[in-house]
Amino acid sequence: MGDRGDAARGWSPGLVAMVGAAAAVVTLAGLKASASIVGPTMLALLLTIAVSPLRARLERRRAPFWLCVAVPLVTVIVMLLALGAGLALSAAQLATLLPTYSGQFTDLLHGVTGELAEHGIDQAKLQTALSKLDPGQLFTFVQSFLNGLLSASSAIVLIVLMLVGMCLDATGTVRTLERIRPQQPELVDALRRFARDTTRYLVVSTVFGAIVAALDVVVLYVFDVPVPLLWGLLAFLTNYIPNIGFVIGLAPPALLGLLEGGWTAMVWIIVAYCVINFVLQSLVQPKFLGNAVGLSFTLVSLSLLLWAWVLGPLGAILAVPLSSLTKALLVDADPTKKWMTGLLGPAVDGPDPRPDPDVRPARN
| CA-to-CA dists, residue 259 to 101, 130, 148, 250, angstroms | 8, 16, 27, 15
Per-residue pLDDT tens for 263-321? Answer: 888 899 999 999 998 888 878 877 777 666 777 778 888 888 899 899 888 888 888 88
Q: What is the pLDDT of residues 238-272, one digit of tens each?
A: 888 887 888 888 888 888 888 777 788 889 999 99
Alpha helices, DSSP H, located in the chain: 2-9, 13-33, 35-50, 52-60, 65-97, 102-117, 123-130, 135-153, 156-180, 185-222, 228-238, 245-277, 285-289, 297-311, 313-317, 319-327, 340-344
Is residue 229 within 8 Å of 364, Cβ to Cβ? Answer: no
What is the distance, to the nearest Å, from the Cα of residue 143 to the centroid of all Cα atoms in its chain? 18
What distance in Å separates the CA atoms of residue 277 and residue 279, rounded to the nearest whole number? Answer: 6
Q: Which amino acid is at 155?
A: A
Look at residue 6 in the predicted model and tell me its pLDDT. Answer: 47
Task: Check if the beta carbon of residue 187 is closer than 8 Å to that of residue 334.
Answer: no
Question: CA dist 241 to 237, 306, 315, Å?
Answer: 8, 13, 9
Q: Could you tell me if 304 and 316 are in contact, meaning their C-beta atoms sit under 8 angstroms apart?
A: yes
The reported pLDDT for the residue numbered 273 is 92
pLDDT score recorded for residue 351:
47
Phi, psi of 242, deg, nearest 5: -70, 150
What lies within 8 Å, CB to CB, of 302 at 6+ separation is: none
Per-residue model confidence (pLDDT) at position 109: 60
Q: What is the pLDDT along the chain (364 residues), one digit of tens a residue?
A: 445 444 445 567 677 778 878 888 888 888 888 888 888 888 888 888 888 888 888 888 888 888 888 888 888 888 888 877 777 777 777 767 766 666 666 666 656 566 656 655 655 555 565 555 555 565 666 767 777 776 666 677 778 888 888 888 887 888 888 888 888 888 888 888 888 888 888 888 888 889 999 999 999 999 888 888 888 888 898 888 887 888 888 888 888 888 777 788 889 999 999 999 888 887 887 777 766 677 777 888 888 889 989 988 888 888 888 988 888 888 888 777 777 776 676 655 544 444 444 445 544 4
Spatial separation of the C-alpha atoms in residues 256 and 261, rounded to whole Å: 8
Q: Can you tell me the distance from the alpha carbon of 206 to that of 210, in angstroms, rounded to the nearest whole number?
A: 6
The gap between the terminal CA atoms of the chain, to the nearest Å, is: 53
Amino acid 27 reads T
- CA-based nearest residue to 85, from 248, 230, 216, 220: 230
Give the model's pLDDT for residue 291. 63
Instruction: Provide Rg for the chain, Cα atoms.
Output: 25
What pLDDT is stored for residue 214 in this prediction?
93
Q: How far apart are CA 89 and CA 164, in angstroms?
A: 27
Residue (of 320, 294, 176, 297) closest to 240 by Cα position: 320
pLDDT tens for 52-61 read 888 888 888 8
